[in-house]
């Protein structure tokens, strides 16, 4: 019996060869230097910020070089529910316009290098594994869990390296006939790669972020096919897919760095050129004086849905990630305010190789505030409405009913040289403008804080005098303000701040105190955008009604 016989016994139905697949997945027809990148998440039903940040790098690299960015779902861990998880990944990418050039979604396959879902590529993996068995570079391993555990305990006890290698690789030494017999007897097995490496030797590896690294050769006979579902492990599946799909650049988390020797050996075993690797630093956040990994469990901002739920503009989220992707991004963006992140030339060397990539919500909030402040009122309205449709139905109905009115509210101190920077996200808009809607104003428990003026009769006097003698809906802003000053003078408040500061005892207060009373009665808040605009939009009837409420 030969290894070929063994391979046929294990994979009787595999009739194709690796050559067939190489022909089916020919080199891509792209310009010189074009990069082929992929986002290859394992669908877990959860989209981590760290995954999304890798997808952005993939997209930028491909876009910069007129290449291809594709999505591959790595679902070989079948314990998980895949369908919704794949949907979540795709809808998240689409939501941010980080749509891949090639993907598979809802039975639609875009691109010639699919299937793009690993569980549908079983036959391909089997063909490659069959080949390895034929050339004596892979073998079935019948070791049971207990045996492996025992071996591990021994290795720990004698302080040997942990793993299945060298003299510990027991099944490596079974004869072909023994292997066949065990299979015929129905013994369970996995398939292991047969390493030819020597852990004492080192080789040079170029990581595009970290530069040239000296790594030990792999000598582990890693599992490449699991026993129960006969699906490959990540190590093997990623090799086959990146090879056939002609990936030029693999962007993945630094937790994969220790697996590089295995991966390089797999590529070598097939005489294939390995892609370039960009191992991205972990996303970390500050906690007190130290930094720690952004955690799915502890940090809501670790999940992409957080940004959608809170209504952060997609552009701001991407921008905040770009600033941690490349340290020079911000400067570039300041110089090129009209360009998008896709125009930026990403350089892996400018990623932080040690200490992680520091993510900061404060930074996102600032970027977002700036971004929203530069939108037109109609744009903010459309985005707000889109967000509210899903996340705040009641508010959605209100702003739909009063569309023009809402646009006017959103236009206060906007579309000018120095627009107001109030909103960090769409969710934060309602808490700042709710008082403009009677439906919300009338139903809310209100607390008024008139600040310096506390006497109820005095407050009433100010408001009544204002409405009776000075209020005129058609006044322009200057006239309006002059009238508030006159009102102040009439009631014994300073209209000139300088005079007030010089002789505070001569006055009951000043014009700011008086306008605060007007502001608070119509909004309940002493901090609002331009009062003149607010009064104008509210109109006389509503102002009177609100005065009567106190
Ligand atoms: N499926 C792997 C993961 O989710 C992807 C690693 C890679 O991009 O190669 O970690």
Please state, in angstroms and as integers, the Cα–Cα distance from residue 429 to each residue in 309, 381, 423, following that order.
13, 10, 6
Instruction: Say how far apart CA 531 and CA 525 lie, in whole Å.
Output: 11
Query: Does residue 72's CB lie within 6 angstroms of at least one atom of ligand 1?
Result: no
Relative orientation angle of helices 122-134 and 234-244, to the nearest 10 degrees: 100
pLDDT reported for residue 355: 83
Ligand 1 center from residue 251 Cα (angstroms) = 9
How confident is the model at residue 91, as a pLDDT? Answer: 94
Q: Could you identify the residue written with the tokens 């391909």?
A: 124
Ligand 1 midpoint to CA 256 (Å): 8
> What percent of the chain has a predicted confidence (pLDDT) above 70?
99
Contact, 280 vs 357, CB < 8 A? yes
Residue 243 predicted with pLDDT over 70: yes
Mean pLDDT of the 187-195 span: 98
Cα–ligand 1 centroid distance for 257 (angstroms): 12
Closest CA to 399 of 373, 380, 421: 380
Ligand 1 centre and the CA of 72: distance in Å? 10
The mean predicted confidence, pLDDT, of the chain is 96
Percentage of residues in the chain having pLDDT higher than 90? 95
CA-wise closest residue to 270 among 21, 503, 527: 21
Residue pair 118/237 in contact (Cβ under 8 Å)? The answer is yes
What's the confidence (pLDDT) of residue 80? 62
Asked if 377 contacts 410 with a C-beta cutoff of 8 angstroms, the reply is yes
Task: Give the global pTM.
Answer: 0.93
Ligand 1 near 50 CB (within 6 A): no
Q: Is the pLDDT of residue 204 over 90?
A: yes
Alpha-carbon gap, residue 82 to 76, rounded angstroms: 10
Using a 6 Å cutoff on CB, does residue 43 contact ligand 1? no
**Is any atom of ligand 1 closer than 6 Å to the C-beta of 59?**
no
Query: Residue 243 has which token pair?
Result: 């090879």
Q: Which of the 8 DSSP states describes residue 523?
A: H
Q: Ligand 1: does its nearest atom lie under 6 Å from the Cβ of 249?
A: no
> Which numbered atom of ligand 1 lies nearest the CA of 51?
4
| DSSP count for the chain of H helices, then E strands | 24, 16
Separation between Cα atoms, residue 97 and residue 116, nearest integer Å: 19
Query: Quick check: CB of 41 below 6 Å from ligand 1?
Result: yes
**40 alpha carbon to ligand 1 midpoint, in Å?**
5
| pLDDT, tens digit, 9 for 90 and up, residues 329-348 | 999 999 999 999 999 999 99
Alpha helix positions (H), 136-227: 145-157, 176-184
pLDDT tens-place string over residues 447-505: 999 999 999 999 999 999 999 999 999 999 999 999 999 999 999 999 999 999 999 99
Testing ligand 1's pocket by substitution, the residue of 73, 238, 276 carrying the most ligand atoms inside 8 A of its CB is: 238
Strand partners, 423: none
CA 74/CA 400 separation, integer angstroms: 42
| CA–CA distances in Å: residue 458 to residues 30, 148, 451, 490 | 78, 85, 13, 13
- Compute CA 305 distance to the chain's CA centroid, rounded to the nearest angstrom: 8
pLDDT computed for residue 458 by the predictor: 97
Residue 536 has pLDDT above 70, yes or no: yes
Give residue 524's region: left, alpha or beta (phi > 0; psi -120 to 50): left
Quote the ligand 1 centre to 232 CA distance (angstroms).
14
Answer whether residue 43 shows pLDDT above 90: no
Which of 48, 54, 74 for a ligand 1 pocket mutation test, highest count of atoms within 8 Å of Cβ? 74
Q: Relative to the CA of 242, which ligand 1 atom is closest?
A: 9
Q: Is the CB of 238 under 6 A from ligand 1?
A: yes
pLDDT at position 17: 97
CA atoms within 13 A on the CB side of 421: 9
CB 485 within 8 A of CB 507: no
């Amino acid at each position: 019996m030969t290894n070929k016989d063994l391979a046929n016994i294990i994979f009787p139905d595999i009739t194709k060869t690796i050559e067939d697949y190489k022909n089916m997945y020919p080199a891509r027809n792209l310009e010189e230097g074009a990069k082929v990148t992929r986002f290859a998440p394992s669908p877990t039903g959860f989209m981590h910020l760290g995954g999304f940040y890798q997808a952005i790098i993939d997209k930028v690299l491909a876009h910069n070089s007129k290449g291809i960015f594709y999505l591959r779902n790595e679902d070989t861990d079948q314990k998980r529910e895949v369908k919704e998880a794949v949907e979540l990944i795709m809808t998240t990418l689409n939501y941010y316009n980080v749509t891949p050039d090639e993907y598979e979604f809802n039975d639609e396959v875009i691109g010639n290098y699919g299937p793009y879902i690993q569980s549908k590529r079983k036959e391909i993996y089997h063909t490659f594994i069959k080949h390895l068995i034929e050339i004596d570079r892979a073998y079935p391993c019948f070791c049971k869990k207990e045996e492996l555990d025992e071996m591990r305990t021994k290795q720990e006890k004698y302080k040997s390296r942990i793993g299945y290698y060298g003299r510990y690789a027991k099944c490596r030494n079974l004869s072909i006939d023994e292997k066949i017999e065990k299979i015929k007897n129905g013994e369970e097995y996995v398939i292991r790669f047969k390493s030819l490496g020597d852990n004492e030797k080192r080789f040079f590896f170029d990581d595009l972020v970290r530069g040239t690294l000296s790594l030990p050769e792999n000598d582990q006979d890693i599992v490449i096919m699991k026993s129960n579902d006969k699906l490959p492990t990540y190590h093997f599946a990623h090799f086959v897919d990146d090879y056939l799909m002609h990936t030029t650049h693999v962007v993945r988390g630094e937790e994969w760095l220790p697996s590089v020797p295995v991966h390089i050996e797999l590529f070598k075993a097939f005489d294939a050129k390995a892609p370039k690797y960009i191992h991205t630093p972990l996303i970390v956040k500050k906690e007190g004086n130290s930094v720690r990994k952004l955690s799915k469990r502890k940090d809501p901002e670790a999940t992409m849905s957080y940004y959608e739920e809170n209504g952060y503009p997609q552009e701001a989220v991407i921008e905040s990630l770009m600033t941690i992707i490349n340290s020079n991004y911000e400067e570039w963006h300041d110089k090129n305010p009209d360009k998008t992140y896709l125009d930026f030339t990403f350089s892996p060397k400018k990623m932080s190789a040690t200490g992680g990539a520091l993510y900061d919500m404060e930074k996102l909030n600032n970027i977002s505030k700036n971004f929203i402040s530069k939108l037109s009122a109609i744009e903010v309205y459309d985005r707000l409405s889109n967000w509210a449709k899903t996340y705040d139905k009641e508010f959605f109905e209100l702003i739909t009913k009063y569309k023009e009115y809402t646009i006017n509210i959103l236009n206060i101190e906007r579309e000018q040289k120095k627009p107001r920077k109030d909103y960090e996200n769409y969710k934060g808009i309602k808490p700042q403008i709710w008082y403009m809607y009677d439906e919300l104003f009338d139903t809310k428990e209100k607390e008024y804080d008139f600040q310096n003026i506390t006497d109820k009769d005095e407050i009433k006097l100010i408001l009544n005098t204002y409405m009776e003698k000075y209020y005129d809906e058609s006044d322009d802003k200057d006239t309006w303000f002059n009238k508030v000053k006159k009102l102040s003078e009439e009631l014994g408040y300073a209209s000139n701040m300088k005079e007030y500061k010089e002789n505070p005892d001569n006055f009951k207060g000043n014009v700011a105190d008086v306008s605060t009373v007007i502001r608070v009665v119509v909004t309940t808040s002493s901090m609002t955008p331009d009062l003149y605009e607010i009064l104008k939009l509210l109109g006389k009837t509503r102002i009177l009604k609100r005065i009567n409420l106190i």
